[in-house]
Amino acid sequence: MNDEEKLEQARERVIEAISQNMNLYGVTESIGRLYGALYFQEGPLTLDEMKDELGMSKTSMSTSVRSLLELKMVGKVWKKGVRKDLYQAEPDWYQTFIDFFSIKWRTGISINVSAMEKSLSEFQSLLDDENVDTKIKAEAKMDIEKLTDALEYYDWLNRLVDSFESKEIFQYIPKKKS
């Protein structure tokens, strides 16, 4: 195996690990592979260059890039004389983590809190209704207690996400200085 093949093999191992890791969090492996491939590039690439690099269709590549843009894992860059859009991986892994998880966590928090608040209102209306059976009222009261505890958790999770976005988290868990 020559040196270039060793370099590519070492890069491919990392790209594969990134794609598998992102798959654990609901991002397709092909999107993970694209991010990994962009991470090792020396400069930004066009969609056509990415398509050639990864052997994906231009449509699939465009969809994948759009997903990475939404996750803030890649950015559009400008280069004098180049008319096509250029994309580059976000090189700061701390910021990538913060953006990725903040987006995912905020979405999950919003979905769950909305459902819980609606259910709390319905449980409360059961408690307020004189015609509801006492057994149903007792169950509704227990459910209200459970959801109240869950909402406290989501408040904590929101504050945790806030600490990531404000970078306050680094006061408690500092980045290692290299």
Across the chain, mean pLDDT equals 92
- Residue 126 and residue 148 in one domain: yes
Q: So what's the pLDDT on residue 26?
A: 83
- Residue 98 and residue 77 in one domain: no
- Residue 78 and residue 151 in one domain: no
Q: Which domain holds residue 10?
A: 3-90
- Residue 104 and residue 57 in one domain: no
**Residue pair 105/111 in contact by the 8 Å Cβ criterion:** no
- Residue 153 and residue 83 in one domain: no
Q: What is the CATH number of the domain that holds 84?
A: 1.10.10.10
For residue 113, how many other CB atoms are within 10 A of its CB? Answer: 17
Among 81, 88, 99, 96, residue whose Cα is nearest residue 65: 88
Write out pLDDT tens, residues 86-118.
Answer: 999 998 989 998 998 899 899 999 999 999 999
Kindly state the average pLDDT of the residues 19-31: 88
DSSP string, 138-163: HHHHHHHHHHHHHHHHHHHHHHHHHH
**Residue pair 67/31 in contact by the 8 Å Cβ criterion:** yes
Dihedral sign (CA 5, 7, 10, 14): negative
- Residue 117 and residue 49 in one domain: no
Write out pLDDT tens, residues 74-89.
Answer: 999 988 887 888 999 9
3-state secondary structure of 76: strand
Long-range contacts of 7-16 (CB under 8 A, 24+ apart): 11/40, 14/40, 15/39, 15/40
Q: Which of 90, 113, 139 is the last residue of a domain?
A: 90
- Residue 150 and residue 102 in one domain: yes
**Please, which pLDDT band fits residue 178 given cuts at 50, 70 and 90?**
low
Cα separation, 76 vs 86, in Å, equals: 6
